C-alpha cells in the first residue's frame, strides 16, 4: 500500500510539490485515492499470480494476468486524466460530480471485472478437471468391458475343458509327450485361465472387484465382498464404473495408511423394503477424515484435484435418486459410506 501511494506522487502531476494544496481539494483527493487503490489491486493480483505459480507450477499461464492488469492500467490512466482536468481546469460542480461518479463506477467495475475473471478462471479449471475425470472414467469403462469379455472367454474355456482333455488323451495314446506339454502350457498360461472368479453377477462390477482384490492382496489389505444377485442391474455400466471405482479408490487409499487395512463392500436389498438397494463400504481409516466444518480433508499434494471423485459419486447417486451418508466410527477407526437407492429408474 505504501509503495502504491508513493507511485501516485509520480503519476499525478505536481503532486509532490503541492501536497498541502491538494489536501483541501476533495475531488483531487478522491482521484488520488482511486488511483492508489487501482495500483494496489494490480500489485496484489500480480503477487497472487506469482505465489500461485510457485505453489502449483505449470497450472497457471502468464497470459491470464494480462486482461485484469490491463483493465486496471487503463482505468488508472483514465482516472489520472480526470485528476489532471480537475487540477488544471476550473469546472462547475455539475461536471465535477459527473467526473467523481464516473471514477467511482470505474473503480467498482474494475473490482467486479477481476472478481468475475477469477470466477470464470476457477470454473474453467474445475471444468477441465471434471473433463479429465470423465476421460479417466471412460478409459476405466473400456478396461472393465475388456475384463468382462475375458471373463466370458473363461466361461467358454471351462465349458470346452472336456474337449481339451479328450485331445490330450489322444496325444497321450500316441506318446506325443512334447505336444502334450505344449498343449497343457498353452492352456495354463492362456488369459482365459488367469481371470477372476465370480463375486457378482454383474460383469462390470465383477471386474472392478477383481481388480481391487489384486491391489489389496499386494498391500496385505483384507478385501471382503458380499454382493447379492440382481442388486445393481438398474445401474448402467458407465455409472457402475464411476460409482464403485471411486468408492473403492477412496477406501483403498485410506486402508493403505493403516496397519491392519481392511475393506468391506456389501450390496444387498433392504430387509424391510425389497425395492431399496443398500450399498455399504467400510474401510479402516487412520484418524477422523472430517475437518471442523464437516468436510473431508485430503492428504494429496495436488489439492486442486481433491474432491472430484466424491463429486462423481454424488453425480451417480443423484442420477438414480439415491441418498448418500458418510461417517467415521471412533470406536473401531473405520470410515463408513452408506448409499441407498429407493426410487430406482
User: What does the pLDDT look like over 318-342, one tens digit per residue?
Assistant: 999 999 999 999 999 999 999 999 8
pLDDT tens-digit readout, 50-106: 777 666 555 455 556 677 777 788 887 887 777 777 767 777 778 778 888 888 888
Extract the C-alpha cell encoding 238. Answer: 458407465
Residue 72 phi, psi dihedral angles, 5° rounding: -65, -40
Rounded to an integer, what distance in angstroms lies between the CA atom of residue 118 and that of residue 296?
A: 25
Contact 191, 153 (CB under 8 A): yes
Residue pointed to by grid coordinates 474432491: 307
**Sign of the C-alpha dihedral computed for residues 209, 214, 215 and 221 taken in this order:** positive
Every domain of the chain with CATH number 3.30.565.10 lies at 198-345
Q: What are phi and psi of 209, to 5 degrees?
A: -65, -40
pLDDT higher than threshold 50 for residue 144: yes
CATH number of 198-345: 3.30.565.10
CB 30 within 8 A of CB 71: no
Whether the full predicted model's pTM is greater than 0.85, yes or no, is no
Give alpha helix (H) positions in the chain.
2-11, 19-23, 26-55, 66-88, 93-159, 161-173, 177-188, 203-218, 237-255, 308-319
Structural contact between residues 313 and 243, judged by C-beta atoms closer than 8 angstroms: yes
Q: Are 100 and 30 in contact (CB under 8 A)?
A: yes
Is residue 152 helix, strand or coil?
helix
CA 310, distance to chain mean position in Å, is 8
Give the CA distances from residue 74 to residues 111, 170, 190, in Å, rounded to whole numbers and listed in that order.
14, 91, 70
Backbone angles phi, psi at 283, to 5 degrees: -140, 150
Over 60: is that where the pLDDT of 171 sits? yes
User: 28-32, 85-89, 133-137, 274-278 — which is least confidently predicted?
Assistant: 133-137
Query: Is 40 buried (19+), middle (13-18) or exposed (0-12) by CB count in 10 A?
Result: middle
- Average pLDDT over every residue of 293-311: 66
C-alpha cell at 330: 471412533
**CA 32/CA 338 separation, integer angstroms:** 59
pLDDT tens figures, 208-266:
888 888 889 889 999 999 888 888 888 988 888 889 989 999 999 999 999 889 999 99
Strand 322-329 relative to strand 222-227: parallel, antiparallel, unpaired? Answer: unpaired
Amino acid at each position: 500500500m505504501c509503495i502504491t501511494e508513493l507511485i501516485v506522487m509520480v503519476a499525478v502531476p505536481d503532486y509532490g510539490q503541492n501536497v498541502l494544496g491538494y489536501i483541501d481539494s476533495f475531488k483531487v483527493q478522491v482521484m488520488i485515492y482511486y488511483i492508489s487503490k487501482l495500483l494496489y489491486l494490480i500489485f496484489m493480483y500480480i503477487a497472487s499470480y506469482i505465489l500461485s505459480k510457485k505453489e502449483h507450477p505449470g497450472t497457471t499461464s502468464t497470459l491470464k494476468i494480462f486482461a485484469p492488469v490491463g483493465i486496471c492500467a487503463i482505468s488508472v490512466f483514465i482516472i489520472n486524466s480526470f485528476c489532471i482536468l480537475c487540477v488544471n481546469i476550473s469546472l462547475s460542480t455539475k461536471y465535477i460530480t459527473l467526473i467523481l461518479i464516473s471514477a467511482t463506477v470505474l473503480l467498482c467495475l474494475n473490482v467486479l471485472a477481476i472478481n468475475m475473471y477469477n470466477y470464470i478462471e476457477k470454473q474453467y479449471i474445475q471444468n477441465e478437471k471434471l473433463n479429465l475425470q470423465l476421460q479417466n472414467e471412460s478409459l476405466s469403462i473400456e478396461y472393465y468391458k475388456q475384463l468382462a469379455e475375458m471373463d466370458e472367454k473363461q466361461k467358454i474355456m471351462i465349458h470346452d475343458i472336456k474337449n481339451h482333455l479328450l485331445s490330450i488323451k489322444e496325444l497321450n495314446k500316441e506318446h506325443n509327450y512334447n505336444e502334450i506339454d505344449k498343449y497343457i502350457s498353452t492352456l495354463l498360461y492362456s488369459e482365459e485361465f488367469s481371470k477372476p472368479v465370480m463375486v457378482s453377477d454383474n460383469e462390470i462390477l465383477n471386474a472392478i472387484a477383481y481388480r481391487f482384490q489384486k491391489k489389496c492382496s499386494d498391500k496385505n489389505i483384507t478385501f471382503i465382498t458380499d454382493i447379492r444377485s440382481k442388486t445393481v442391474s438398474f445401474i448402467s455400466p458407465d455409472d457402475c464404473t464411476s460409482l464403485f471405482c471411486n468408492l473403492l479408490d477412496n477406501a483403498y487409499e485410506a486402508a493403505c495408511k493403516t496397519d491392519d487395512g481392511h475393506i468391506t463392500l456389501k450390496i444387498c436389498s433392504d430387509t424391510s423394503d425389497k425395492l431399496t438397494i443398500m450399498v455399504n463400504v467400510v474401510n479402516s481409516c487412520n484418524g477422523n477424515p472430517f475437518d471442523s466444518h464437516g468436510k473431508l480433508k485430503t492428504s494429496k499434494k495436488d489439492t486442486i484435484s481433491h474432491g472430484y471423485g466424491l463429486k462423481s459419486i454424488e453425480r451417480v447417486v443423484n442420477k438414480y435418486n439415491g441418498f448418500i451418508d458418510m461417517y467415521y466410527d471412533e470406536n473401531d477407526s473405520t470410515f463408513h459410506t452408506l448409499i441407498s437407492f429407493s426410487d430406482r429408474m
